[in-house]
């Protein structure tokens, strides 16, 4: 009853989405009522905790006060939260019942209520408190004279219990501090699983005390010590985040075999892989030593990772070395294993037995889902339509078969696609044909950050802010699908991630300064706002263009998906065309004017360099086509010359240069078609026109 009062007896409430959607919350809360008053941030802002101050609460409240003070410049009298018995009145009162457990289906809900002079947070667990504090920080607003929290009443809880982010630290190593700041960012958007992809062909990143050759020979010296792993796991736990380790076997195992060639399926010399892709080295599932080493390793890992789930990979094993190995072939016959897939299942079941003894449940990429796989396994669905099967087919199949399962297909954040594409992928879309019990087996999903092309300099800009939108998909109601509102909120969330140390914004200019040798980078910034890195796998076709030690300080590395000016320009063009040229013309012209002088500006960079020379065409192409558009958009008649130039330049800008592509090329095409359609054009053959409109 108290709760009902808490949420619904609010005077002067305005509950319409039309007003509340101005709030820059992400993930969007389940229930929100917006009031009219506000609470101003003053130096006497204090927090009281009506319960034991757990380490989680201590860290969360202290960090909250630092962030609030940092944002507002308000000098607080008190820098730490108080216990209930040590203070009478507090601005923010926190009530919770117990420490949260790091397991699936834990209660992560919270209630947050702000009024003109009081804030209260109620939650079952201290994890709920963390989320409430993050929501509260997202609510901060200001006018000319003060910073304040608007009056709200929020009741919030997650839609899915598994809201994960996988980071691949094998293809490029990401040191502890990089992981920690990303754990902070995860907590800020209420994600609760860090899936740590620790081994792959390009590196084995864990210190093994039982088999030290693994990290000594398999990592180029880039690995986490066991103490560092404990530190990261604790750091995650303090933020309500579970950590699931992945040891990828039997494929993706070149680094393991570099250390222990004797458990490989081919008698050869292995060395750490420098390229990307799918490689042949594979563990030998018929060799007892394979299970000895993995058993020892799993036992070591089980000590470091308290989480129930243990990811054994299992993806992309093509079994080429198995086919070439006579002993393995005869083993298959002897054990009546029809296919390599059967052989892998044989191995998986052995590994599952080892893990069960260690108190763990096995988790693996969808390839592990075979008839004999125990139903305690968690199936990680990742293949999409591209593989000839409908999206999410393995997810639904797993749920129907009785497995718990999570979705990553659609959330491959490293592919540099617009965030809108990820955002609209729902693990449980309407009309999913699953029964209630089957639906409950779909635990959620994980964004996956493969790092073939991401170093510690650029990792954050590949992950953020786009991962926040995926986090919203996992947390918020399925009804929250307004893409344009999502983009608006994401802009604010993005900037706020800076205070957690996320480097996605600041590191762009670091790269541009390197390219220009610390000369004026203005021209390059303009370009970085409209060019995007090549998408999907086209930047590194076949995995052979880049080695792990290639430079990742190129212009493409300064660019990001969802190039900021491109997003604005796209909308302007849409407005312009749909209003038949009545709206947005001035803004479009102003963009063209800026771009038209870009090449001139670019050439004013005094000292040239090969890096600059390589990207000069990007500037030249943009300036030329913008000049042409300026001519066309401002004249009544399009001359044949302008027309021809436009067509040729449109074809020109479609070609990738230096691993980037112009993010507005489709919009320019649409705009050209519209202009040609509405203006006088004479003496022009149809042929050209076709080229544009197709």
Written as one string, the DSSP assignment of 141-186 is EE-SS-EEEEEEEEEE--S-SEEEEEEE-SSS---HHHHHHHHHHH
Q: For a second copy, which is the closer residue by CB, 88 or 145?
A: 145
The DSSP result for 321-379, as a single string, is: HHHT-HHHHHHHHHTT--SHHHHHHHHHHHHHHHHHHTT-EEEEEGGG--TTS-TTSEE
Q: Which is nearer to a second copy, 320 or 513 (CB)?
A: 513
Nearer to a second copy, 227 or 387 (CB): 227
What number of other Cβ atoms are within 10 A of residue 180's Cβ? 17
Query: By CB under 8 A, is residue 175 in contact with a second copy?
Result: yes
Minimum distance from residue 615 beta carbon to a second copy (Å) = 10
- In angstroms, the first-to-last Cα distance of the chain is 62
Residues 142-161 that bind a second copy (CB under 8 A): 142-147
Binding mask 34-63 for a second copy (x = CB under 8 A): ---------------------x--xx--x-
The correct pick among 30, 42, 69, 538 for binding a second copy (CB under 8 A) is 69
Q: Which residue has the tokens 């617009």?
A: 418
The Cα-based distances of 569 to 590, 592, 633 in angstroms read 11, 10, 15
Q: Does 258 bind a second copy (CB under 8 A)?
A: no
Q: What minimum distance in Å lies between the beta carbon of 180 and a second copy?
A: 8
Per rule CB under 8 A, is residue 212 in the interface with a second copy?
no
By CB under 8 A, name the one of 261, 374, 491, 656 that touches a second copy. Answer: 491
Please state the closest distance from residue 179 (CB atom) to a second copy, in A.
Answer: 11
* Dihedrals phi, psi of 576, to nearest 5 degrees: -60, -50
330 makes contact with a second copy (CB under 8 A): no
Of residues 616-675, which lie at the interface with a second copy (CB under 8 A)?
Answer: none
State which H helix or E strand residue 228 sits in. Answer: helix 226-238
Choosing from 4, 9, 75, 85, the residue that interacts with a second copy (CB under 8 A) is: 75
Taking CB under 8 A as the rule, does residue 542 contact a second copy?
Answer: no
Query: Could you say which DSSP state residue 663 is in?
Result: T
296 binds a second copy (CB under 8 A): no
In the bound state with a second copy, the residue whose beta carbon lies nearer, of 389 and 505, is 505
**Segment near a second copy (CB under 8 A); pick from 195-203, 384-392, 546-554, 578-586:** 546-554
Residue with smaller CB distance to a second copy, 74 or 589: 74
Q: Single out the catalytic residue among 93, 273, 288, 316.
A: 316
- Residues contacting 161, CB < 8 A, separation 6+: 104, 105, 106, 108, 192, 443, 444
Residue window 98-137: x/- pattern of binding to a second copy, with contact defined by CB under 8 A: ----------------------------------------
Phi, psi of 273 (to 5 degrees): -75, 140
Residues paired with residue 412 on neighbouring β-strands, in sequence order: 448
Answer for which of 65, 378, 618, 662 binds a second copy (CB under 8 A) is: 65
22 included as an active-site residue? no
Count of residues engaged in binding a second copy, rule: CB under 8 A: 63
Asked if 225 interacts with a second copy (CB under 8 A), we say: yes
3-state DSSP helix/strand/coil % of the chain, to nearest 5: 45, 15, 40
3 state DSSP class of 670: helix
What is the torsional sign of CA 342, 343, 346, 349? negative
The DSSP code for 114 is E
Choices 374-382, 472-480, 505-513, 571-579 (CB under 8 A): range interacting with a second copy: 505-513
Q: Taking CB under 8 A as the rule, does residue 609 contact a second copy?
A: yes
User: Does 270 contact a second copy by CB under 8 A?
Assistant: no
Question: What whole-number distance in Å separates Cα of residue 207 and Cα of residue 426?
Answer: 37
Supply the minimum distance, in Å, between the C-beta of residue 58 and a second copy.
Answer: 7
Nearer to a second copy, 243 or 615 (CB): 615
Query: How would DSSP label each residue in 582-634?
Result: SSSHHHHHHHHHHHHTHHHHHHT-SS--HHHHHHHHHHHHHHHHHHHHHHHHH
Kindly tell me which residue out of 8, 15, 22, 79 binds a second copy, with binding defined by CB under 8 A: 79
Q: What is the maximum alpha-carbon separation in the chain?
A: 87
Q: Rule CB under 8 A: say whether 303 interacts with a second copy.
A: no
**Which residues carry out catalysis?**
316
Chain positions contacting a second copy, by CB under 8 A: 55, 58-59, 62, 65-66, 69-76, 79-80, 142-147, 175-177, 220-221, 225, 227-228, 231, 274, 491-492, 495, 498-499, 503, 505-507, 509-510, 513-514, 517-518, 546-554, 607-611, 613-614
């Amino acid at each position: 009853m108290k709760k009902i009062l808490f949420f619904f007896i609010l005077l002067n409430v305005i509950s319409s989405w039309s007003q509340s959607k101005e709030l820059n919350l992400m993930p969007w809360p389940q229930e929100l009522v917006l009031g009219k008053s506000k609470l101003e941030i003053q130096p006497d802002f204090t927090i009281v905790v009506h319960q034991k101050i757990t380490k989680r609460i201590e860290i969360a409240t202290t960090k909250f006060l630092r962030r609030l003070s940092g944002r507002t410049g308000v000098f607080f009298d008190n820098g730490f939260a108080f216990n209930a018995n040590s203070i009478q009145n507090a601005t923010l009162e926190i009530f919770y019942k117990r420490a949260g457990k790091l397991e699936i289906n834990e209660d992560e809900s919270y209630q947050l209520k702000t009024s003109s002079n009081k804030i209260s947070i109620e939650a079952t667990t201290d994890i709920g408190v963390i989320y409430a504090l993050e929501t509260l920080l997202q609510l901060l607003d200001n006018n000319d004279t003060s910073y304040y929290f608007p009056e709200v009443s929020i009741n919030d809880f997650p839609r899915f219990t598994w809201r994960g982010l996988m980071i691949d630290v094998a293809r490029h190593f990401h040191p502890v501090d990089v992981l920690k700041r990303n754990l902070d960012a995860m907590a800020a958007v209420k994600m609760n699983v860090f899936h740590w992809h620790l081994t792959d062909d390009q590196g084995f990143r864990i210190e093994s005390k039982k088999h030290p050759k693994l990290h000594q020979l398999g990592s180029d010296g880039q690995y986490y010590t066991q103490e560092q792993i404990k530190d990261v796991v604790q750091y995650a736990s303090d933020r309500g985040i579970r950590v699931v380790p992945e040891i990828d076997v039997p494929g993706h195992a070149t680094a393991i075999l570099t250390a222990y060639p004797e458990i490989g399926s081919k008698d050869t010399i292995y060395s750490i892989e420098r390229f990307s892709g799918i490689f042949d080295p594979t563990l030998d599932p018929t060799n007892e030593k394979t299970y000895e080493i993995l058993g020892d390793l799993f036992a070591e890992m089980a000590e470091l990772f308290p989480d129930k789930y243990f990811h054994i990979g299992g993806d992309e094993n093509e079994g080429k070395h198995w086919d070439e190995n006579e002993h393995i072939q005869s083993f298959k016959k002897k054990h009546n294993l029809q296919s390599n897939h059967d052989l892998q299942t044989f191995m998986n079941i052995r590994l599952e037995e080892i893990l069960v003894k260690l108190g763990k449940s096995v988790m693996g990429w969808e390839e592990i889902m075979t008839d004999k796989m125990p139903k305690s396994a968690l199936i990680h669905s990742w293949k999409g339509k591209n593989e000839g099967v409908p999206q999410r087919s393995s997810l639904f199949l797993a749920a129907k078969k009785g497995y718990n399962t999570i979705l990553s297909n659609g959330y491959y954040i490293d592919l540099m696609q617009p965030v809108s594409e990820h955002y609209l992928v729902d693990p449980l879309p309407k009309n999913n044909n699953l029964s209630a019990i089957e639906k409950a087996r779909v635990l959620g999903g994980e964004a996956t950050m493969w790092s073939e092309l991401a170093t510690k300099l650029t990792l954050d800009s590949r992950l953020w802010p786009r991962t926040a939108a995926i986090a919203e998909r996992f947390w918020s109601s399925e009804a929250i699908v307004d893409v344009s509102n999502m983009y608006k909120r994401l802009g604010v969330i993005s900037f706020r991630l800076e205070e957690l140390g996320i480097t996605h914004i600041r590191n762009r200019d670091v790269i541009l300064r390197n390219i220009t040798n610390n000369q004026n980078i203005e021209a390059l910034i303009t370009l970085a706002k409209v060019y995007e890195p090549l998408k999907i796998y086209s930047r590194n076709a076949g995995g052979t263009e880049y080695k792990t030690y290639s430079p990742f300080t190129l212009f493409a590395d300064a660019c990001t998906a969802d190039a900021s000016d491109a997003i604005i320009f796209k909308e302007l063009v849409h407005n312009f065309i749909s209003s038949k040229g009545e709206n947005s013309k001035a803004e479009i012209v102003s963009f063209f004017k800026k771009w038209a002088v870009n090449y001139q500006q670019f050439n004013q960079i005094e000292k040239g360099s090969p890096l600059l020379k390589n990207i000069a065409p990007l500037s030249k192409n943009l300036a030329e086509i913008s000049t042409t558009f300026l001519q066309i958009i401002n004249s009544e008649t399009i001359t044949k010359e302008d027309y021809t130039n436009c067509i040729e330049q449109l074809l020109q800008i479609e070609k990738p240069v230096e691993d980037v592509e112009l993010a507005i090329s489709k919009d320019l095409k649409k705009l050209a078609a519209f202009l040609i359609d509405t203006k006088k054009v004479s003496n022009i053959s149809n042929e050209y026109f076709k080229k544009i409109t197709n």
